Structure 1
Amino acid sequence: GTVTASWNSIPEGSTAQVSFTVTVDGTIAPEETVQNSATVEWESLQTADQGALPVPPNNTLGVERTGNPADTGGAANDYTNTGSDSLTVSAATVIKTVDSIAPGGSAPDITAGDTVTYQLTVTLPEGTTANLSLSDALPAGLSFLNASLDTTGFNGSVSMDPAVPSGTVATGQTVAITFGATTTVVADNNPANNSFSVLVTALVDGTEAANDGLPAVQDKTNTVTLDYTGNSGTIQDSVSVDFAEPELQITKSMTPDTDLDAGEVVTIQLTVTNNGTGTAHDIVVTDVLNDDGLLFDTAAGNVLEGTTPADFSFAYSEPTVTYTGGATTLAAGGTLVFEFTAVVRADVITGSSFTNTAAVDGDSQTGTVTGERASSDTGMDSVTTAGSTAGKTLISTSESWTAGNDVAIGEVLTYRGSFQLPEGLTQADGILITDTLPAGFQFLTGTASIRAVSDTSITADTFALTAWGSHQTSTADHTLRRLDTVCVGDTDSSNGFDPATEWDGFAQDSFGDLGTHSVSCGIPADLLISEYVEGSGSNQALEFFNGTGGSIDLNAGNYIVEIYADGSASATTTINLTGTVVDGATYVLGNNAAVAGITGVADQT
């Protein structure tokens, strides 16, 4: 339409102004420009004077001037002027924010297993927008889950097509969102109701290497781009959030850690530190005792709780100590200290080293959450048991008139060899005590003896210096190994049994070379018993050696083992040996309840 205004006259130097209001059409598009022009016309005489005044001598037309060239005077009627101005409709905008992070294991940062929801707020000018679309570039490591439209408070008409992701999670997905042919905002001149939102939800996937929060948090920037028909530039907005993750470390210390004796109490300290950037959840600490040998007595009552952090529980199920934190978390940089005690076992091997390992496990979320990332570590410490020491001193001489180390020819000297044995089990597998006398000294037969001094009971095998004696008791709780100089066994059960003539004697549970034997005496005529093991519990075994030069078929030869109880004149158990023993090989018969050191080499149990 046209707006018209008129004035009778405007004095020289004066200004006249007209104002009016229009409504922008509801079909106008964003960034559209509207041009508006106004024209003013005036005349040289007011209406009352036209024709009444004499024509000025220099007015060759004989009429007044107007602003209309169609009037008398034609083109000379130039009393007119035109002015114009334009307006441009506002562009659409988009603002991106983080709406929520769930479960939020390391909030306000995101971590593996979180779902992060971004809010894309679109504001349109009132009118109609054609072919509106959003392109949301997710950071690498985030996996698109869904997108939804929120029109709360929006006064208009909008429809959203299903979101379409493209690209890979490893390098970053792009989510395309379109809104149909037209989107309309009601022309009510109320900017407060011109906006709607799109919620885009993505999973922070802990299986993706692109998510790396170590050693520092990782920036995750998300950029959205808005477009429509008539858009003259780039319309974008971004939001950033940091990715964080836990990194658990465990260190183990045992005190004391040197010269341990049987029965000694050892304090075990486990220190767990979160060296990561995010919070650790579901923390479990475990310590399997005796994972490197029989160091501790793992029976109930010998492993006791010490210091346990708040909200953690201590549990012991032989041989494993477990600390469980439940819902307890450990923030980045935080530390937890656990302590318990254990007792060194009575039969610990002296002079040995033992390494024990503890473990910690945790993850980035409480409970089981899709996409969470685990964190674990192991820590170890070593201890040593006290070893044996030896010394030798001159303790007496036969002559009173000599002094100190100055002795006379013919004088009898008594030496003491001292062996300090720590509490525990000192293995003497094939040990030989040798005392080399100086030239000119002569050993007096029968004068050697063994004496034990101990603050507890002591047991030892003394066969290295004297024969064991005779008959059945000589084999009790020992291991006998046939000398390599013996090729024929003693088949006469009526005579006394002197092991020193055919056998080497060893301590209980000595079966380290079970399954191997050789001879230097020639060629045995038949299968030979080469080792006898009478150990603790069920640790019993017999070893047979075939050095005949050919294979022996145990089945065809009807080879049997007869076992006699103490004092019995007849066999209480008979075992048929089966299989074939090739030349130079051994055949081991073991108790099926024995330790792996026996059953692992046994041919028959």
Structure 2
Amino acid sequence: VTSQGAVISATASPVTVNLGTLGTLGTLADDATATVSFRVTIDAGTTNGTVLSNQATVTRDGDTTGVRSDDNGTSGDGLNPTLTPVYTEAPTPLFDKTQTDSSETGSIDSNVLIGEVVTFQLAFTAPSGTTRQLTFADTLPTGLAYVAGSARLWRTSTALNASLNPGGINSANANDPVTLIDGVHLLQSGQTLSLALGNVINSDANAGTTEQYVLEYRARVQNLAGNAKGETLTNSATIRTLNTLGVEQSLTPVVASLSIIEPSLTLNKTVSPSALLSSGGATTYTLVVANTGNAPAYDVCITDPLSDSWTLGTVTATPSGTDAPTGITTEATDCGSDGLRVQVEVFPAGGVLTLTIPVSDTDLSGAPNDQLNNTASATWTSLPGATGSGSGLDAAGTAGTEDGERTGAGSGVNLYTVSDSAQVTINELNLTKTVDDTQRYAIGELVTYRLDISVPANFSVTDAVLTDALPEGLLYVGPVNRVDTNTALTNASLTDSASGTPPTLTITLGTLTNSAASAQTLSLEYGVRVANVLTNQFDTEPLENTATLTFKDPRDDNAEKTRIDAASIQLGEPQLSLTLDAAGPSGTLTNLQAGDVITYTLSLSNASGVGVTTAFDSLLSSVLPAGLTGVSDSLASTDNTNLSSEALSALLATLSIDADGLSTTSDGFDLPAGAVLELTFQAKLDVGVLSGDTIPATTANVTYTSLDGEDATERTGSGTPEVNDYQANDSAQALTIDSTVAFDKQFLPNTRTTFAVGEEVTYRLKVSLIEGTTEDLVLTDTLPAGLSYVGYTLGAGSGDSLTIPFDPATDLTVTPATGPSDTGQVVRFDLGTVVNAANGRRDDDYLTVDLTARVDNVTANQAETVLGNQAKLEYVDAEGNQTLHFDADGETDGNQPLNLTVVEPTVTLVLDQSVETLSLGDTVTYTLTLSASDATAYGVQLVDTLPPGLEYVSATGGTPSIKDQTLTFDLAQLAQGASHEITITARLRPDSVVGVSQPNQATLTWGSIPEASGDADSGRIGSDGAGDGLNNYATSQSVSLTPTTNAVIDATKTVTDLNGGDALAGDTLEYTVILENTGTEHATNVVFTDPIPANTAYVADSTTLNGSRLADSGGGLSF
């Protein structure tokens, strides 16, 4: 279709359009446009990913070189052809989102701190050609905020051009970013960011290069209540485009997730001795600060006002733990004015800081209520410094605000603070109960409690008894042991007993006597075990238990007195999670066939953070379903976190892959808190998979225990009883085997659709198979009346890889058995269950049946007769019985047959004779011209019967066989469109009767194929002669001549010297010749010849005939 001009060549490339004269006066006026549009059909067999390059050229008078078209209208990148990628299967969109940078070094990978700024990049790989109305769209979750002014865009190749040209990107060099203006280029609606590029053209057709647009921006983790340790911030990005119908479509969103990590400090304050006399003394406070969170704490301030009575000695700070605190200052003015003010710059997760604080006083008589209480506190922040490590766009906002770091200010979400107290009694016993509360206790783990009884100098009590009521979930193990080495403090007895449910522990000490001049402490330890009961879970409230000391005080008439202290433990559990995903050879799970390798990605992780303990004796397995066989030695570790190289090696040594899948050795492996293990392993689809079959999802399972080694008290993953729930599992995607069994039928060779009577035609029936198993394959070809079955050839595209259990003796049926048949024939090939073993190729997965039939020599088969051949394919797949009918024309309703058109050779005969009358004894020449049309004629035979009055002289164009007056000429074939000429020379016999006609009869016959016999199973011939008979390939012609008597011509010649007298040199001689017919018949075709005499020269243009000038004939006279 054109606005002006006409297509003058459209059968080959290039398509040519004659636009004629444009505009007026032979010129194209300003702003005038000529539009030419045309459609093309993409060739069948074009491979997936082929890029069609199309460029137009316009020429005009005076400019034969012309001007080439450009794909994007920007000549700076050259005049490039328009590119169109061809996809025979859905293309895999190349769009990705990654976190590329972070403002903080205290977080790793996707783990983020409150207030941290992260950098994201969205990369879109543009296919060759045009992508319509491309828009980046990225939706940030609540708690993640776009950093204003941080957006940039770059392209990796100048072959890219965007019609909206945001930020002037079309002028930028490759990989040079341009700044995007908020609200102009980068739009924000709620939490969604968008950037429109318009129509994007990629002028690079090289499949080996990648052309991308990359959008980069920053986002801040906000200081909001919803942002807490363990929360996941999932960020979803996509690409929106218009499809060919102008409908907007979006790619499946790509997700980038951030995990919030937080520090969590615990503070435990103890004092020893905890009992002093009013006359004063010395004691020591111990502060143990531990970070049980999963992130570093920054700018930690540890303060304690201490009692006014105390004189502070030298404070000792001892860092320890898996990652010890750094930057410790014991006199930190930035931490206030309390008696104790210690600052820690970086307090890593797992770090421990122990502060030893000696104090003393010479007069404690003024202590209120005979005791001194004081409280220590700790505060911290989520980022180092006031705004974190970053600067500029990477810096956090004001500390404590929504866009700043989280602090210990104590209000709103800024609750990074903790405290603990300790007391010193005056002139009284004191009881302190402690336990290591810096750790989480696993199910079945042994817990050691410590009871410290501080006794003032020279002090004694009687009937001392300790009781400890254990909470539900703890079991008493015992025994009770005195662990101090203080000989000055004695106890009369040490017996223990436990009774009740939950148990109460009773410890009898009797009389306690301190004979020393200073306070002394008696220390007892005993063990309890965390019971494997349902109430003990990861999120169970701390298990607190209270110890009570009762005794009689001789100073107060043996009055019974009581001291109480409590301690608690927090339970911990391993928290394993498991994911399993499958991917096919191309990264997707489409078009799967036998031999395809499925790659499974298994991710096993133990959660990080407070309360997570090591998973021990982990047994990981993945049993493959039927249809899959594991690939040995395919196990690989692709990523890991929080595992040393030694630990990783030891772990991998317990795993193996065999035909059945993934398994672990019986002793298993351990996975600490925060550890992440990513594994890949492979399995191959078996040759027995059926077309369209569904392979059940492969599952993975892990069981683990709370304690290392076999322990009857541990929690396991056995599932029995119910409390043993330490297991995790996941399933990958189910696999659907390709059901694309295709069926096609063509002539072989595929260049002809016309066939002659008796000719054999071969049909190729091609069945495209999956690599795998196709059951009960039956191929049926219905030959119409007019075609008869001849034979077949069975072929396998993949050779020995294809097994076809076909026995022609039992599996081939032809109904009726022989042809021709008025109803046609049905040919059925029962190919059985076909197994196509994988061979690493996809271009040979087919079988062929080359079926040969014959065009019958029957009356119905005449020129232009159409014989339609139907075929169908039946097989069984996972969905049941399937039937595919061959359809030669998908645009016409119904299943159209493959049509054959009958052609017949037509040979014409033209018979000419040189004369119609002939004198006795003279010769005549017959010319016979044979011309073939419509098809090639075979076995051509010309029979010419000379009349009795003629005798054969000679022939050209063939050597005849002669019998009496009959001449027979044979030609093997006469090609369509060809002609052949035969001449016969004969002499009229002298005894022929004058005036009696002599007729000559020529008959021509031919066949439709070589060696045709005219039978029904052979080619058509001319045995029935011309007319309505079946074998009517014949024609004839005849001519006649009339004999005459001989004609007699007398010639009289005279000469005259025009100069007079005797003939002298130089004279002109004139010859006169008189011709006279003295016979009884007219003479025809008379030729007179007179050679020029020697010693004379002919006078040009001097010859006349009956007074009329004749043209010269050269060296002699002939007319």
TM range (shorter): 0.3 to 0.5
TM-score in terms of structure 1 length: 0.46
Taking structure 2 as the reference length, what is the TM-score of the superposition? 0.26
Q: Could you say which structure has the greater relative contact order, defined with CA pairs below 8 angstroms and 6 or more residues apart?
A: 1
Q: Which has the higher strand share?
A: 2
Higher alpha-carbon Rg: 2
